[in-house]
Structure 1
Amino acid sequence: MNPDYPNEAGRYRTFRSAVFQAGVVGEKEGFSPAYTEMEIQARWFGGEFGRTFETTDGEPVEIVQFGHWNHSAGPDFTEAAVKIGGEVLTGAIEIDLEAASWESHGHSGSPDFEAVVLHVFLHSPESGQRFFTRTVNHKSVPQVQIDPQLLSGVGPAP
């Protein structure tokens, strides 16, 4: 023990007991570990989140065809087919970690994203602020937020 700091161990013990007492340190409810966009794309492509969803506007969505996983520039999945409100749309699907990423990644100003028929994301702002997904030609793109409960790996069968 360092004679200059005789109470160091005692202070640390006090600190630990204060910090780690029940309810002081923990994860927020609904907390999910950090996922990369690539991991979410892989789980999406594998059907781990299911095939039926609801848009942020309440419309039913069914994934008819997940499409082809695009590992180049442009939307994440091409040649996809989705049924939204009874209408089958074919085109691309873009997956982002955040709802606001459509804008921050520049998709709204890129002609490469004109064919997107569905924008899928994990997190919406805690503030409740809503982001609208529009293409370069101002076409509205339906949005789906993946249910955080499905991130645990326990979700509906594809």
Structure 2
Amino acid sequence: MNHDEEGRASDFFNSLLENALWTIPGRRMKAGRTHRVPLSGRAIEILEEVAKLRTDESPAAYVFPGARPGRPLSNMAFKALFIRMGVEGVTAHGFRSSFRDWAGECTDFPREVAEQALAHVVGDETERAYRRGDALEKRRELMKAWTGYILE
């Protein structure tokens, strides 16, 4: 899962939907490292529906465009939506926390896989020097399980 800012600023050019993979360049990530996000089947379906609504067909068009041309969805968009819905005490970051709690308490996925799904730096300097992979396929299974959980 990516922070709301990284998600809002991702464009179709970087969304490799044919591989069910969303690649976020390091320059857009808090830790400065490229992050690959495995997309569930339902996420692909949603993005395909979003693509049908696009008015900007340029390769650099935002997946979630803002009200102003050439700008991503505002970081206040979720807050405004929650206010209109009459929902209090909910934040976009809370969704990340909920995911982490669920992964840790309700699944058998290793802690490292859940942390990598959130693009967190895992382990100390020595461990990171030896861990070169990003557990993409394990994270893909985790995201499928998360999708199943939230759609129950």
If the length of structure 2 is used for normalisation, what is the TM-score? Answer: 0.26
Q: Which has the higher strand share?
A: 1
> Which structure ranks higher in relative contact order (CA pairs < 8 Å, sequence separation ≥ 6)?
2
Task: Indicate the structure (1 or 2) with the bigger Cα radius of gyration.
Answer: 1
If the length of structure 1 is used for normalisation, what is the TM-score? Answer: 0.25
